[in-house]
A = this chain, B = another copy of it.
Amino acid sequence: MTANDPTAAVLVIGNEILSGRTQEANLNTIAKKLADVGIPLKEARVVPDVEAEIVAALDALRSRYTYVFTTGGIGPTHDDITVDSVAKAFKVPVVENAKARALLASSFGDKGLTTARLRMARVPEGASLVNNPISGAPGVRIGNVFVLAGVPEIMRAMMDDAVSTLRHGPKLHTATVEGNVAESLIAEELRALAARFPNVDIGSYPWMKGRQIGTALVARGTDATAVRKVADDLLALMKTKDEKATRTEA
């Protein structure tokens, strides 16, 4: 990865995540879709439905990363303040978007265009739309910020549209070695191995399944040859403790 390669951040907006009512379910989807096109997700934040908090977090993230994806708070109710907050961050007014209005009209009919539903046609001035094939109300793109829904089914569909417009990064290669081995039993050798391959990110992820413990070692990088070599060495290391250790690549 070079300084010119694209990066991304996620801003999750919603009291329901912070209160514990809702298990956050979009970050993982976004991370995977970005990894597929070579864009590493570098940071994520979760903030409440408070305009000043949204603006501050968005400004911190959009100035630092190539792309920012917000989730949540774009519906018709009083607690949906994302569009207004994004507009405030960009210092532009909120305007009604004619195309968004037409999309809502085709979903709900002209008579169904209530005040509440028309709120979903409001966008920061200068924004373009992100397609929502599920429920009509579109997402929004302004500058390097994509404003997506919080409902996972809708977010996922919007993200597919958003990803199609991004500048892709170098393909990321991943290999995973897994065995029924406590990570402390291989930690020293692993440290030495990692030091030999500074261009490959090597993660060690212990797990517990009932009383069984094990470790997944994950090598990740843009140099396919180096990732393969690291995976060879990781498998050999893991097999010194568990001869049934496995290896998968992606």
Least Cβ–Cβ distance between A21 and chain B, in angstroms:
6
Q: Please, how many angstroms separate the alpha-carbon atoms of A4 and B119 in the complex?
A: 37
From B32, B115, B154, B191, contact of A78 by CB (8 A): B191
Contact A31 B43, beta carbon cutoff 8 Å: no
Secondary structure dominating the interface of A: mixed
20 residue pairs of the A-B complex, CB under 8 angstroms, read A15-B203, A16-B203, A16-B218, A18-B31, A18-B43, A19-B41, A19-B220, A20-B28, A20-B29, A20-B34, A21-B203, A24-B27, A43-B47, A75-B187, A77-B191, A78-B190, A78-B191, A79-B194, A116-B184, A119-B187
Q: Which residues of B contact A135 (CB under 8 A)?
A: 208
* Chain A residues with a Cβ closer than 8 Å to the other chain, count: 65
Least Cβ–Cβ distance between A51 and chain B, in angstroms:
15
Beyond the given A16-B218, A78-B191, could you list 12 further A-B residue pairs with CB under 8 A, ordered by the A residue number? Answer: A15-B203, A17-B27, A18-B44, A20-B28, A20-B35, A24-B24, A42-B48, A75-B183, A79-B204, A114-B188, A151-B206, A154-B208
